[in-house]
Amino acid sequence: MSDLTKPVLTAIGVISGTSMDGIDVSVVESDGREELRFGPGASYPYPAQTRSDLQALIAEPERALDDPLAELEVAVTGAHLDAVRRFIAEQGLDPKEIDLVGLHGQTVYHRPDLRFTRQLIDGPAVARALGIPTIDRFRHADIAAGGEGAPLAPLYHRALAHGLEQPLMVLNLGGVGNITYIDGETVIAFDTGPASAILDDFMLRRLGKPFDADGALAASGRVHEELVSAFMANPFFDRPAPKSLDRNDFHRRAKVVEALSDADGAATLAAFTVESVVAALRHVPKQPKRWLVTGGGRLNQHFMTRFRERLGVPVETVESAGWAGDVIEAQTFGYLAIRSLKGLPLSLPGTTGVPAPLSGGRLNLPKD
Ligand SMILES: Nc1ncnc2c1ncn2[C@@H]1O[C@H](COP(=O)(O)OP(=O)(O)OP(=O)(O)O)[C@@H](O)[C@H]1O
Ligand SMILES: CC(=O)N[C@H]1[C@@H]2OC[C@@H](O2)[C@@H](O)[C@@H]1O[C@H](C)C(=O)O
């Protein structure tokens, strides 16, 4: 095992996001503060059976409250282990040079109001199998302290944004949307509302497709403005930050588009997402000078066009700042693993609502 007390560590970060499209893996080198270099990243799909078992669980996620989900956790952990092994082999990395692996795991149910969050991953098993220390359970300490437990990417966004013009808004369009507002020492973050997940579920239901490629269907439809207004009347959008969401929080309400055509339904759901992002401006002190968009939703041209029309300041993908949009979340959990090991905060009052800056994560040594 390497010397974990050295100032700069090399970590592999691993996450499977709420859209469950696969496992993202990336490598970062950092002192846990501003010093930051990132290497390659890659994504590995779940085995089909694991993915469909996860999808079945997500349809009734409250099961996670009293079911240990042991079998599914073994499958998810195995898929993570395979992904890390493949990544190390494909990238020609020397396992001895990897100090730490940060394992976010697969979120299956997130209910901060119940002080409950569940990510499937067995960090100790991965540490033993790889012979490398791992960090898992990134959200637990935050939730236990009364925080939202999410989003956790903001402190990584702050490190990336060092030296860029501010105030800067980073928007992650994953299954759920979340923003990080960065203005010097001020960091404000929260989940904005639905993003890709409601549109993905609609596409699957209506057309058997996993998502609306490039936003083409949404762009071809007509927005049902009354439904958008009714949706935006939800008190969530006025609720001050911090706030976080479960993947399925808006699904029942989004079913109101059921009577619309495929194109109009997609256009209306996309408009929900766009308006919920615009509503984020209610909860930040200044107008951002620039928005940088990450997450799979940045590839949806329709979203990007509508944001540019609605936000009135430059809106670009994170690639325009040299960041790697496909693996930024994996990098996040590599960086946060290093911070966890050093006892540095993973969340702040402005990012998750914890009473004071708080560290977290569980360290699993290979020989425990
Ligand atoms: N070419 C594309 N056109 C339109 N949408 C796309 C495209 N590629 C990906 N997406 C959208 O991005 C989604 C995946 O985004 P991402 O990988 O950021 O989600 P995630 O990391 O699982 O979510 P979260 O951040 O909520 O955990 C897909 O489900 C799809 O909706
Ligand atoms: C509980 C959970 O897994 N939340 C995810 C999800 O996906 C996007 C948004 O909702 C964000 O809150 C979070 O992920 C990112 C990586 C975060 O913690 O910053």
| Claim to verify: residue 167 and residue 275 sit in the same structural domain | yes
Q: Is residue 2 part of a domain?
A: no
Residues 145 and 158 both lie in one domain: no
DSSP 224-282: -HHHHHHHHTSGGGTSPSP----TTTTHHHHGGGGGS-HHHHHHHHHHHHHHHHHGGGG
**How far lies 177's CA from each of 14, 60, 73, 210, 278, in Å?**
20, 21, 26, 18, 11
Q: Which amino acid is at 275?
A: E
Complex ipTM value = 0.94
Best mutation site among 211, 302, 319, 328 for ligand 1, i.e. most ligand atoms within 8 A of its Cβ? Answer: 211
- For the chain, how many structural domains are there in total? 2
- Judge whether 256 lies within some domain: yes
Q: Which atom of ligand 1 is nearest to the CA of 173?
A: 18
In a domain, 4, yes or no: no
Which atom belonging to ligand 1 lies closest to the Cα atom of 212? Answer: 4
What pTM was estimated for this model as a whole? 0.94
Residue 63 within any structural domain of the chain: yes
Shared domain for 310 and 234, answered yes or no, is yes
Does some domain include residue 167? yes
Considering the domain architecture, whether residues 20 and 166 belong to the same structural domain is answered as no
Q: Atom 25 (ligand 1): residue with closest C-alpha?
A: 174
pLDDT tens-digit readout, 97-110: 999 999 999 999 99
Residues 105 and 206 in one domain: no
Instruction: Show the domain range for 231.
Output: 154-321
Let me know whether 333 and 284 are in one domain: no
- Ligand 2 pocket, residues with Cβ under 6 angstroms: 17-18, 107, 110, 117, 150-153, 172, 174-176, 178, 191, 244, 329, 332
Question: Nearest 5 degrees, angle CA 327-CA 220-CA 263?
Answer: 90
pLDDT by residue, tens only, the chain of 368 residues: 789 999 999 999 999 988 787 999 999 999 999 999 998 899 999 999 999 999 999 989 999 999 999 999 999 999 999 999 999 999 999 999 999 999 999 999 999 999 999 999 999 999 999 999 999 999 999 999 999 999 999 999 999 999 999 999 999 999 899 999 999 989 999 999 989 889 999 999 999 999 999 999 999 999 999 999 999 999 999 999 999 888 888 877 778 899 999 999 999 999 999 999 999 999 999 999 999 999 999 999 999 999 999 999 999 999 999 999 999 999 999 999 999 999 999 999 999 999 999 999 999 999 86
Q: Do 176 and 307 fall into the same domain? A: yes
Q: What is the pLDDT of residue 31?
A: 98
Q: Is 99 labelled as part of a ligand binding site?
A: no
Same domain for 71 and 206 = no
Q: Are strands 290-294 and 168-173 parallel, antiparallel or unpaired?
A: parallel
* Whole-number pLDDT of residue 19: 76
Report the separation in Å between the CA atom of 257 and the middle of ligand 2, taken as the mean of its atom positions. 26
23 annotated to bind ligand:
yes
Residue 163, Cβ density class (10 Å: 0-12 exposed, 13-18 middle, ≥19 buried):
exposed
Distance 343 CA to ligand 2 centre (A): 21
Residues 26 and 175 in one domain: no
* Residues 127, 188 within the same domain: no
Integer Cα distance of 2 and 9 in angstroms: 9
- Residues 40 and 83 grouped into a single domain: yes
* Residue 69 belongs to a domain: yes
Domain assignment present for residue 301? The answer is yes
> First vs last Cα of the chain: how many Å apart?
13
User: Quick one: 247 and 133 in the same domain?
Assistant: no
Q: Which CATH number fits the domain that encloses residue 295?
A: 3.30.420.40
Asked whether residue 136 is assigned to any structural domain, the reply reads yes
